[in-house]
A and B are shown apart, each in its own frame.
Chain A
Amino acid sequence: MRAGLAYPNSFAVADGASFLDQWWGRLMQDADQRGGVSELRSPTDPIGAHHAALLRRVAEAGDKSAFADLYTYYAPRLKTYLRRLGSSDAAAEELVQEVMLQVWRKAALFDPARAAVTTWIFTIARNKRIDALRRDRRPALEAGDPPPAVFDAPPAERALELAYNSERLQDALQTLPENQATVISMSFLEDKTHNMIADELDIPLGTVKSRLRLAFRRLRNVLGDFA
């Protein structure tokens, strides 16, 4: 069941604990050592607010020390994200540098009412990775090729919920049933189609899809989207 998921193997597996419980437990342990548990646990997302304030200082004043704090937090996590998705160590670091350069250059475009900083940086990294994959396969890409499509702002009443609920989402991720947590994690962190996930887990495609839909609905409820 856990083929391809790197983290559970690296620490003890408690009976009945979900993959994300273990992942989260490890994270809490790390945070504890940094003295940050109470902050991470707070429902008001002080880390997200702090990062938004740092990014505003970068945007308004070109504040390099504020940027250094963001780099220290995000670069190592982006590296893990890109390594999990199959980049080599060197390629992942190069992409991290490109992502963080874009964060520096486009800080003024970040709108805290639309998304959490971590979501904004996630989308930059996601798009950079996709661009790099295309570049590798299509070296003769035309210089004028349009950038990947992005969508304009979500309606204001929803945007606020998306922006301020990152912390609650992180909590919700850890309480997903294990079989849902597995497919969600594979969807984000492994470059596989749903058919390939079904093959790897040796379950029917329809089961992969229904688990994804159940988990997605549950996580959307956290964001106040009951559609």
Chain B
Amino acid sequence: MNPRHHPASDWLLALGAGTLDEAQAAVVAAHAEWCPDCRAKVDCAEAIGGAMLASLPPSAMSAGAFARFLQRMAAADNLREQGSAAPLNGFAHSGLPLSLAKIVPHGIDVLPWKRLAPGVRGVRLPIHSRHGIQLCLFEAEPGAVFDSHTHGGSEMSLVLRGAYHVNGLRFGPGDSEDSEPGSRHMAVADPEEGCLCVAFIEGANRPDGILARLLQPFKGL
């Protein structure tokens, strides 16, 4: 089933542009792996990037650049590829979207999970964000209640397995929830399945809430 809750198009534009922070790109790309409509928007963003590249004024390459290039080309000539590209989208053996599987290549069971609240655990993923944006997984048992957001800045969560409910809406696999800074709400994990989610958190500096507690022990690392 295709996701019903999508990232706003400005996120998909920036994913195609290649200017999202690594943490943001992981979440938005994971959604796009699920969602053909959003992939189509990313394709459009790439076409815009192509048009922009063609429109840029040229900058002179240094003298001899092409000659040096030819030397490297000769050395690499036996590496030319034939045939068509194997598509990389789809899901890794771990059941995670590829954009996350490459960050946690050994699966999520080996990660140093921390208990955050009754029935809720979380872990910060090892990425090196350019802008100090955190990428976290959290998992809630069926029926667990969690304060899903602390909101110092932009955040987005994406359901990987199961579902959660908030304000009468159900967020299932592939659904993303884009939260504006300043909002805050409680979510309830699905009573049957619980949920596994990934989220990026920008400016996670509020002292309250689960995610702040999750992030606290990592400060200064």
Chain A residues packing against B (C-beta within 8 Å): 7, 23-24, 26-27, 30, 47, 62, 64, 68, 71-72, 74-81, 83-85, 89, 92-93, 96-97, 100-101, 104-109, 111, 115-116, 118-123, 125-127, 129-130, 133-134, 137-138, 142, 145-147, 149-155, 158, 162, 165-167, 169-170, 173, 184-185, 187-196, 205-206, 208-209, 212-213, 216-217, 219-220, 223, 225, 227
Residue of A68, A71, A97, A119 with highest tally of chain B CB at under 10 A? A119
B145 to chain A, nearest CB (A): 29
Chain A residue numbers with a CB within 8 Å of B9 are 212-213, 216-217
8 closest A-B pairs by beta carbon, nearest first, are A119-B50, A152-B87, A76-B58, A126-B18, A169-B51, A118-B50, A212-B10, A122-B49
Q: Give the docked Cα–Cα distance between A205 and B38 (Å).
A: 22
Q: Give the docked Cα–Cα distance between A11 and B73 (Å).
A: 38
Residue of B32, B51, B131, B154 with highest tally of chain A CB at under 10 A? B51
- Contact (Cβ within 8 A) B14 A151: no
- Contact (Cβ within 8 A) B24 A162: no
Contact residues on B (Cβ < 8 Å of other chain), bracket? 35 or more
- Contact (Cβ within 8 A) B51 A81: no
Residue of B37, B49, B70, B99 with highest tally of chain A CB at under 10 A? B49
Q: Give the docked Cα–Cα distance between A83 and B54 (Å).
A: 15
B35 to chain A, nearest CB (A): 11
Q: Which chain B residue has the least Cβ–Cβ distance from A48? A: B54
The interface-forming segment of B60-68, B115-123, B166-174 is B60-68
- Contact (Cβ within 8 A) A134 B98: no
- Contact (Cβ within 8 A) A193 B24: yes
Chain A residue numbers with a CB within 8 Å of B76 are 101, 104-105
Chain A residue numbers with a CB within 8 Å of B18 are 126-127, 129-130
- Contact (Cβ within 8 A) A97 B65: yes
The interface-forming segment of B78-86, B187-195, B206-214 is B78-86
Q: Does more than half of chain B's interface fall in helix, strand or loop, or is it mixed?
A: helix
Instruction: List 14 contacting pairs A-B, 8 Å CB cutoff, sorted by A.
Output: A23-B55, A71-B66, A77-B56, A83-B59, A84-B56, A92-B59, A97-B69, A108-B81, A137-B128, A152-B89, A166-B51, A169-B48, A196-B131, A209-B8
Q: Which chain A residue has the least Cβ–Cβ distance from B84? A: A109
- Contact (Cβ within 8 A) A153 B65: no
- Contact (Cβ within 8 A) B52 A154: no
Chain A residue numbers with a CB within 8 Å of B202 are 193, 195
Supplied contacts A134-B22, A137-B130, 15 more A-B pairs, CB within 8 Å: A47-B54, A77-B57, A79-B58, A93-B65, A120-B50, A122-B50, A151-B33, A151-B39, A154-B39, A166-B47, A169-B51, A187-B14, A205-B154, A216-B10, A216-B13
Q: Give the docked Cα–Cα distance between A84 and B50 (Å).
A: 15
Are A166 and B24 also in contact (CB < 8 A) when A149-B98, A152-B87, A220-B44 are?
Answer: no
Within 8 A of A (CB), among B61-111: 61-62, 65-66, 68-70, 72-73, 76-77, 79-85, 87-89, 98-99, 101-102, 105
Chain B residues packing against A (C-beta within 8 Å): 8-10, 12-14, 17-22, 24, 29, 32-33, 36-37, 39-62, 65-66, 68-70, 72-73, 76-77, 79-85, 87-89, 98-99, 101-102, 105, 128, 130-131, 133, 153-154, 180-181, 202-203
